[in-house]
Amino acid sequence: MAVAQVAKINIIGHQQDQADILEVLQNVGFTELIDNPDQTLKRQNINDQLAQIDYQLAGARFALDWLAGFETKKKSLSEKIDSKINLDLAEVQTTIKNFDYQTEVKKIQDIEAGINNANVFKDKLQIELGQIEPWQKLDFVPNHQKLETNFDFRLIIAAENNFADLLTALQSSLPLSQAEKVDAVKTEILAVVFFKTGSESQLNEILNELNIKVAEFPNLEIGVSDRIKEINHQLEQTQHQIEILTTQAQTFANSQRELKIVFDYLSWQKEKIENQQKALHTDQTFSLIGWIDKNLINRLETELNKVSPNFVVEELPINEDESVPIIFKNTWAKSFEFVTNVYGAPQYGEPDPTPWLTPFFILFFGLCLTDAGYGIVLALVSWLGLKLLKPSAEMKKMFKVLFWGGLVTFFAGAAVGGWFGIVIDNIPYLPLRNLLVSVRLIDPVKDPLTMLVFSLILGIIQVIIGIIVSMWWKIKHHNVQSALLDDGLWLYFIFAILIGGAAKLGLIQFAYSKYLVWAGVIALIATQGRHQKNPIMKLSSGVISLYGLVGYLSDVLSYSRLLALGLATGIIAMVVNLIAGLTIDMVPYLGWVIAFFIIIGGHVFNLGINALGAFIHSSRLQFVEFFPKFMEGGGVLFQPFRKDSKYIRIINKDNQ
């Protein structure tokens, strides 16, 4: 069975051993802890611990995120491919003991605050410089508070014509005011207007009527020219301060190893505290409830014995309404759990669809892509991804799925004559042409009907396999009646229709085929309404059940997409080659260069978009047409309590 038998366990121990036992559970990583629902026991309040670890984790996360923008150290190719730090648990503990990360984070926070404050001050200076720089010829200190009593001033910017009108307006309306030209910039006059305090409103009316702007200007303690020199000096000092702080930030950024170890360590501690909250207590003991693969209970006890003999692991009964997590136990089909997980886990008590979907998925993937050249490229890229990128467990599964999909695509593409969209009948090199033509079994462009029939036959086979899986699973779980009357009769009916169709087309000689079909109809009508108590409802339910044949027919027709997607890949590849060929003929000298980029770009795009389409549509055939035959889905995946990390990789020195 590809799904493990899951047990619900209760770990009971002394409170003094709780931290060590949690550490063991996190290290071995094959137990999922859940909340203990017992209302008679006490729950420990550890919100303060959680808040403290959250604060420390936030500081480490901030420091690493902020330092990322200051890293100048060039990474080697291997570091770019695999940036994780390899070390064992003892080295982690040594780092945590010797590295004062809180002081380190505080220094980084101070540098960040210093750079921010310096930039704010720099921006403020630059704004002020922009305001006062045009007024360098101003011959007095522009400070409203230092003018003679009863007088004030405004710095204005006016067009030449408007300035002349301003002089006239001031002379007639505000005789105690005076406007003096300071400078001219292009067609604008920079000027200062002195006026008697109390006449601001009259002055504003005049300025508005003449569309004259009042310049924003700060109060200065010294002249404009002197203040500009002072600002430039302050800008130099501030920039120098920013450079010093940036150098310090770069030093920290280029030596983040310990900080990354701390981040992952703190993440582990947070998860440990969160799981500690799930425990219940008496005055002397604690109780932790969780899920585990039943075959690993003895191993768990062995590991716990290493830290304390004072514990008990008892197996608890599982209630019918409990959502039991799913633990996959696949071997050869393990990589294709990636496809199953896209859909979701089966419910506990349903069959794992992974080993059943695997051969169909990779075959359908190859038929959707149908280009041997693309298959080679896809398999090679996936293999390199596995070898060079050190991917996570889920990414590793994805690469393996694509690798096997690429291999099957190679054989499927060779069988239909797909080689990077090249028309193999036109290959000038005769030995190569003969070889490729000899392995071609069908040309889907010239003979799409045969390919369509082949696709539909595959659909019929998978639908039948789905019914067989359902029947097998029910028999295995002692539901023989449903297996025979629901799945068995439909299986018989489908085979009867296939035999009848083959006889009708003259493919086989069988005079009594129609009786097989009618026998199936009668059997379904007689049995499919058996759960109804009313005889009329029994009969009507049986008749209505025959509509299920339409559902099966619809499912089979969905497999025609294998033909459509396979044709799309080949035709687009041919179009890319055609455009490249036309470019060579139409563009002199550079035609070959442009054609090269068209070939590379076009085929990369075609491979990418059609590989995605092959994955999506092959998955859809599993999820929509295959899975519903024997499972509902909606299960919950097992989430073990373990040491997941972002920056480090725990290794065992004994196994290196």
495-508 pLDDT, tens digit per residue, is 999 998 888 888 88
Which residue type, as a one-letter code, is found at position 231? I
570: Cβ–Cβ under 8 A, 6 or more apart, which residues? 370, 371, 416, 418, 421, 444, 445
Q: How far is CA 339 from the centre of its chain?
A: 15
In this structure, the strands spanning 285-293 and 280-281 are antiparallel
pLDDT value, residue 452: 94
What is the pLDDT averaged over residues 437-466?
93
Q: Bridge-partner residues for 86, per DSSP?
A: 649
pLDDT at 75 over 80: no
Distance, in Å, from the CA atom of 550 to the CA atom of 281, rounded to the nearest integer, reads 59
pLDDT at 1 over 70: no
Distance, in Å, from the CA atom of 82 to the CA atom of 476, rounded to the nearest integer, reads 46
What is the pLDDT averaged over residues 46-74?
91
DSSP state of 140: S
Mean pLDDT lowest for which of 148-157, 222-231, 318-327, 473-482?
148-157
Choose between 146 and 393: higher pLDDT: 393
On whether the CB atoms of residues 55 and 310 are closer than 8 A, the answer is no
On whether the CB atoms of residues 200 and 152 are closer than 8 A, the answer is yes
pLDDT at 78 over 70: no
Distance, in Å, from the CA atom of 635 to the CA atom of 622, rounded to the nearest integer, reads 17
Q: pLDDT-based confidence at 655, cuts 50/70/90?
A: very low
pLDDT at 427 over 80: yes
Choose between 23 and 536: higher pLDDT: 23
Token match 């009357």: residue? Answer: 485
Cα torsion for 523, 526, 531, 537, to the nearest 10°? 140
On whether the CB atoms of residues 565 and 617 are closer than 8 A, the answer is yes
Mean pLDDT lowest for which of 363-377, 399-413, 434-448?
434-448
Cα torsion for 409, 412, 416, 419, to the nearest 10°? 30
Q: Bridge-partner residues for 244, per DSSP?
A: none
Q: Which run of H or of E encompasses 102? A: helix 101-132
How is residue 394 written in tokens? 């889920």
pLDDT value, residue 129: 94
On whether the CB atoms of residues 314 and 12 are closer than 8 A, the answer is yes
Q: How is 152-172 classified by DSSP, letter by letter?
A: EEEEEEEEHHHHHHHHHHHHH
On whether the CB atoms of residues 332 and 305 are closer than 8 A, the answer is no
Choose between 588 and 82: higher pLDDT: 588
What is the pLDDT averaged over residues 585-600?
90
Distance, in Å, from the CA atom of 488 to the CA atom of 482, rounded to the nearest integer, reads 8
Q: Bridge-partner residues for 42, per DSSP?
A: 281
What is the pLDDT averaged over residues 186-215?
91
CB-count burial class (<10 Å; 0-12, 13-18, 19+) for 359: middle
On whether the CB atoms of residues 229 and 196 are closer than 8 A, the answer is no
Distance, in Å, from the CA atom of 253 to the CA atom of 245, rounded to the nearest integer, reads 12
Distance, in Å, from the CA atom of 186 to the CA atom of 204, rounded to the nearest integer, reads 24
pLDDT value, residue 121: 96
pLDDT value, residue 57: 95
pLDDT at 225 over 80: yes
Tell me the torsion sign for CA atoms 350, 352, 356, 358.
Answer: positive
Of 151, 195, 89, 267, the closest CA to residue 653 belongs to 89
Buried b (16+ CB within 10 A) or exposed e, 121-142: bbeebeebeeebebbeebeeeb
Sheet containing 188-196, strands listed edge to edge, beginning at the edge strand earlier in sequence:
178-185, 188-196, 151-159, 213-214
Residues constituting the chain: 656
pLDDT at 656 over 50: no
Of 346, 397, 335, 393, the closest CA to residue 640 belongs to 393
Q: Which run of H or of E encompasses 338? A: helix 337-343
Distance, in Å, from the CA atom of 562 to the CA atom of 541, rounded to the nearest integer, reads 35
Q: 278 to each of 12, 237, 272, 377, how far by Cα in Å?
A: 13, 56, 10, 49
pLDDT at 395 over 80: yes
Distance, in Å, from the CA atom of 382 to the CA atom of 393, rounded to the nearest integer, reads 14
- Give the pLDDT confidence of 608-634 residue by residue, as tens digits: 999 999 999 999 999 999 999 999 999
Task: Quote the percentage of the chain above a pLDDT of 70.
Answer: 98
- Give the pLDDT confidence of 249-283 residue by residue, as tens digits: 999 998 899 999 999 999 999 999 999 999 998 88
| Number of C-beta neighbours around residue 438 at 10 A | 8
Choose between 529 and 29: higher pLDDT: 29
Of 29, 65, 105, 253, the closest CA to residue 646 belongs to 65
Q: What region, left, alpha or beta, does residue 569 occupy, with left being phi > 0 and alpha being psi -120 to 50 degrees?
A: alpha
DSSP state of 625: I
SS3 (DSSP) at 350: strand
Token match 């759990």: residue? Answer: 337
Q: Average pLDDT over the chain, rounded to whole? A: 91
pLDDT at 2 over 90: no
Task: Quote the percentage of the chain above a pLDDT of 90.
Answer: 72
Distance, in Å, from the CA atom of 69 to the CA atom of 642, rounded to the nearest integer, reads 31
Q: 438 to each of 41, 357, 424, 484, how far by Cα in Å?
A: 76, 31, 11, 47
